[in-house]
Structure 1
């Protein structure tokens, strides 16, 4: 723990860890006061904070892609018994450890890829998967692995979305000759970014709303609430069609 630091020590310690993407209040010292998105992610958190129970006493939480640890710390403040934040970027993890230590919050942070969550060997009552999907080259695989290995009950999910906000009723099957539905704006679409989007080379796939919801359902997550534009609270259920991370998930071709 690094609590009881002076404001000057907090400011210099935070600055030494590089640019922060999470604007976190460390006892009066903000880590990213000039964030291009404003007070991020605190401002957007207000729109869906009610999806998480105020009292998480006795529950375990996994924060995948935890970045600077804002959401992990919010979960610990609500009394979660165990909070584990994982990220593939050690710089973000160093920031998260510094922030949690400064605030006196007992949170574990570990460097881990979303594709390696099976290595954790445990399921969590609540899993946060926020702002990660569109940074992945294999997004549906990630959802499958999260479902198969770490979600015990609830998943809080967020992904950037682009394209139509409408959701069409999709038929369970189409004849090979039919193709018009692929051109419909509200048909599930996953947009591939070959180069960059918003100057970020790590942006790979961006779904429209219909696609984000279809991917969640197909990976075995029942959507319980869609309280904010891109945020979903889901419950773990059995995936349809025998879907899963291992091919051929749907069985032999017929």
Structure 2
């Protein structure tokens, strides 16, 4: 494949509109004026140590890949197979351009988290970055990841609001006992009816306790919280027999 000139890269970057991932495409920054500065590299730098440096022989699924920053980083770590999913065709076009310019062999598909069972494949590492709070059914998404595609590690990043405390929730409460609901560290998922930060897709803002409780409820064991909104988890045993997802019938899913 003939390498694109810097001028051609710049033209194609501009043709694809605003970028949310600021990436260096052979000297061409995709979002140099990003309101979060060098995002998402600045965020990745705070938790990259928690991921395996060598992913040789491993597979990675990036759900909500946007312009492909994390997917490409996983390929740089030697992952054999990297698949990025998004439902925005412009983001997918950006991701494909970034992968082409950077010489990263990454596959991209137009699928949402609610479609992951159709992949019929499990992945060693699942990235779920900046997606949960944009979903109307966030716990269902975690259930589907657990049931369908997660083999080992899940890395979750979500916007959190409210208290960073965690309250020691009892296994059960009497029906008339209500005080614990008012504890700042009790798991709370704040619903956003209209808009937040000018974005109508910001539907939910969990507090820290809620994010952690949702992960455990879906069957994930939290291994590390390298920064406030990011969790590195391992697929464990679901605390209840089934969540919002019915167990698949024999032959409906391939478990590797």
TM-score, length-scaled by structure 2:
0.95
Q: State the alpha-carbon separation in 2 of the partners of residues 98 and 247 from structure 1.
A: 38
Gaps of 5+ in 1: 249-254
The match for 2:209 is 210
For 1:184, the equivalent position in structure 2 comes to: 183
Is the alpha carbon distance of 1:112 and 1:164 closer, same or farther for their aligned partners in structure 2, counting shifts above 3 Å? same
Deviating above 3 A after TM superposition, structure 1's stretches of 4 or more consecutive aligned residues are none
Q: CA deviation at 1:4?
A: 1.3
2:105 is the alignment partner of 1:95 = no
Which residue is 1:45 aligned to?
44
2:237 is the alignment partner of 1:246:
no
Distance in 2 between residues matched to 1:233 and 1:139, nearest whole Å = 18
Structure 2 unpaired stretches of 5+? 248-256
Show CA shifts across 1:171-219 (max 9, x none): 1001110111111111000000000000001000110000000000000
The one-character-per-residue Cα deviations of 1:7-53 (angstroms, maximum 9, x if unpaired) are 11000101101100000110110000000110000011100001111
TM-superposed deviation, 1:247: 6.7
- CA distance in 2 between counterparts of 1:22 and 1:136 reads 20
Instruction: Give the TM-score normalised by the residue count of structure 1.
Output: 0.95
Mark the CA change 1:28 to 1:63 in structure 2 (over 3 Å): closer, same or farther: same
Q: Secondary structure at the match of 1:195?
A: coil
After superposition, residues 149-228 of structure 1 pair within 5 angstroms as: 149-228=148-227
Once the two structures are TM-superposed, the CA of residue 243 in structure 1 deviates from its matched residue by: 3.2
Q: 1:67 and 2:69 equivalent?
A: no
- 2:142 aligned residue: 143
Distance in 2, matches of 1:63 and 1:113, equals 11
Q: What displacement does 1:76 show?
A: 0.3
Distance 1:27 1:242 in 2: 50
Q: Deviations over 1:215-250 (max 9, x none)?
A: 0000000000111111111000111121322379xx
